[in-house]
Amino acid sequence: ETGVTQTPRHLVMGMTNKKSLKCEQHLGHNAMYWYKQSAKKPLELMFVYSLEERVENNSVPSRFSPECPNSSHLFLHLHTLQPEDSALYLCASSQGHPTGSGGYTFGSGTRLTVV
């Protein structure tokens, strides 16, 4: 366990389904992130939340909708996904300098398959 917990670990959903990915951290970090990792591609940053406010949205389609209700929880709501959205979705948290190393702590990810 890294201190960042993601659920579920695996998810299979149809293109018309609505599902949510959950991320939880109890490290006292003040920022949380969603990354996407498709097969044989580098990790892609999707969303950044700092102090519960979204500070970055990297041109992610609207079928992905993040939510950060408090500093410990982050959600990614999914609806009307496409098969090409199948990937490993990773959550991370960090504590900004100077109190932290600047390093990110990642969860183990949710392996999403869209059928």
Query: Which of 20, 50, 71, 80 is in the footprint of another protein by CB under 8 A?
Result: 50
For position 47 contacting another protein by CB under 8 A, the verdict is: no
Question: And the tokens for 48?
Answer: 């950044």
What are the distances in angstroms from CA 52 to CA 27, 34, 45, 75? 15, 13, 17, 12
How many residues of this chain interact with another protein, rule: CB under 8 A?
Answer: 29
For position 108 contacting another protein by CB under 8 A, the verdict is: yes
Residue type, 90: L
Question: And the tokens for 85?
Answer: 């959205």
Q: Which residues bind another protein (CB under 8 A)?
A: 2, 4, 30-31, 33, 42-43, 45, 48, 50, 56, 88, 90-92, 94, 96-98, 101-109, 111
